């Protein structure tokens, strides 16, 4: 495909710099325009789809681990039945990112999975507070740390 998405963005950045910026009267507006150009330069537009798909697959892997952690203990399975069911529905109805036809659809799948992962992290935190003497596996601490690392990157 020519031009590539990155080539298109490079062209837009050049127009903003060479045509629009000289016509902008306010130093503040010029500064903001430079920030916009810098942000546009930071993204590999050719690989944006693959990047989001990769991140979502990592999130879905963690959601699978959370569901397995929940189902491994009868008390957790009872307490977090709704969360486990929603993770299961998201996973089962989720050839999601594999069936997404547009970047917007893929991004929406990623956002929904990320929101569910945040909720799962909060559930693990509550469980850990309620079971302060439990070991790392039982308390879900290690799994929660993986979730926090994933969400922080």
pLDDT at position 7:
87
- 51 plus 114 within the same structural domain: yes
Q: For residues 88 and 78, what is the distance between their CA atoms, to the nearest angstrom? A: 15
What's the pTM value of the predicted model, to 2 decimals? Answer: 0.73
53 and 39, same structural domain? no
Give the model's pLDDT for residue 103.
Answer: 84
Cα angle value 113/70/58 (rounded, 5°): 30
Q: What pLDDT was estimated at residue 102?
A: 85
Residues of the chain with pLDDT under 50: none
Domain housing 147: 47-152
User: Are 71 and 141 contained in the same domain?
Assistant: yes
Domain count, the chain: 2
Cis omega (within 30 of 0) for bond into 34: no
Residue 23 sits in the same domain as residue 78: no
């Amino acid at each position: 495909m020519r031009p590539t998405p990155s080539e298109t963005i490079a062209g837009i950045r050049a127009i903003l710099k060479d045509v629009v910026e000289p016509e902008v009267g306010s130093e503040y507006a010029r500064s903001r325009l430079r920030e916009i150009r810098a942000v546009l330069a930071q993204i590999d537009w050719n690989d944006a789809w693959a990047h989001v798909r990769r991140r979502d697959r990592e999130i879905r892997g963690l959601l699978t681990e959370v569901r397995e952690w929940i189902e491994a203990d009868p008390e957790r399975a009872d307490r977090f039945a709704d969360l486990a069911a929603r993770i299961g529905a998201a996973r089962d109805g989720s050839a999601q990112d594999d069936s997404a036809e547009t970047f917007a659809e893929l991004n929406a799948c990623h956002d929904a999975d990320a929101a569910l992962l945040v909720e799962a992290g909060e559930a693990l935190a509550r469980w850990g507070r309620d079971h302060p003497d439990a070991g790392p596996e039982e308390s879900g601490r290690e799994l929660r740390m993986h979730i926090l690392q994933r969400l922080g990157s």
